[in-house]
Amino acid sequence: MRKILSLMRKLIEQEGLIKNGDKIAIGVSGGKDSLTLLTAMREYQKYINPNFDLTAIAIDLSNSEMDYSEIESYCKQIDVAFHLEKSNVFEILFDVRKEKNPCSLCANMRRGLLNTTAKKLGCNKVALGHHADDLIETFLLSLFFEGRLYALQPKTYLSRTELEVIRPMLFVEEKEIKKASKNMPIIKNVCPKDHFSERENAKKILEKFTENYPDCKNKILKALTNPQRNKLW
């Protein structure tokens, strides 16, 4: 966790992700990434900057098929407010619309619910658990499947909801998150499309690259954050 906190602090200070008086909602899915972000943000708040508030928000897409009670207990343990917002997104996607490729629509609906809930709770920022591997995989997805150059941003302002989305862990590799989250109450994702998406294909492409070029992730990350990254044409 020390390494994660150090890398997270570097990005927060470099990009000005957190200001005094912020009320930050952390999107908590119950997976390793969001729980690590929740834990690291609480550590940052306790030991580095106490001048902002945290609230954990879980969006239950399964309409109570997923049990968030352990997540709620964990939030109590680390002294972070917890809010569970129930929805029937899975029912709409799989039973009503019968979507064959629901991931993009599901992500949009989940983000919409998270942002609406954060606004309702008085938050001005939403923190998401994207990490360095997500940054690289998103770039590869855009390159290979959309024919464009796009990467996740450390902060994005949403004018419609007047919220700022921040991603404090973009310098953190997934392997560090796996190590840090071993004793966290991770819950199983009940989505039938879990691990069967284009992102999983991008992950496999990246793994293949890494077999031949062990330092390729670090090199791609440096390229994406290099000051000259926009000088392509």
pLDDT tens per residue, the chain (233 residues)?
Answer: 999 999 999 999 999 999 999 999 999 999 999 999 999 999 999 999 999 999 999 988 876 677 899 999 999 999 999 999 888 776 666 666 666 666 677 777 888 889 999 999 999 999 999 999 999 999 988 888 888 888 899 999 999 889 999 999 999 999 999 999 999 999 877 666 565 567 777 888 888 888 888 888 889 888 988 887 777 76
Give the three-class secondary structure for 67: coil
Question: Cα-flanking dihedrals φ and ψ of residue 78, to 5°?
Answer: -100, 5
Q: Of 19, 16, 38, 17, which Cα lies nearest the Cα of 27? A: 38
Whole-angstrom distance, CA of residue 111 vs CA of residue 205: 26
Q: Of 114, 84, 85, 109, which Cα lies nearest the Cα of 96? A: 109
Give the pLDDT confidence score for residue 79 in this predicted structure: 97
Which residues are CB-neighbours of 42 under 8 A, at least 6 positions away?
A: 54, 78, 79, 80
pTM, entire model:
0.88
